[in-house]
Amino acid sequence: MSQHTPGDASDAPHNTVTPRKKVVQGEKLRGADKVARIPVKVIPTTDLPRKPDWIRVRVSANGEVQRIK
């Protein structure tokens, strides 16, 4: 049996922590730097959900539109 202490390097989580740059007043943050300051973490999604029926644009089949085109 080997002695195992809670402080061993093998117990360390394998998360990669990126060092944050110091925030400077007046300097604009972009991308991940801006989102990293929000306490609620944003999970990016790859596929966008469909818009509900009530918010979709309905194309009018008006003859006036065809005349203008």
Q: Which residues contact 55 (CB under 8 A, 6 or more apart)?
A: none
Distance between CA atoms of residues 50 and 46, nearest Å:
13
Domain-by-domain residue ranges, the chain?
19-43
pTM passes above 0.85: no
Distance between CA atoms of residues 66 and 44, nearest Å:
41
Per-residue model confidence as pLDDT tens digits over 2-59: 555 555 555 555 555 566 677 888 889 888 888 888 888 777 778 888 888 888 776 6
Question: By the 8 A CB rule, do 33 and 21 touch?
Answer: yes
Distance between CA atoms of residues 44 and 42, nearest Å:
6
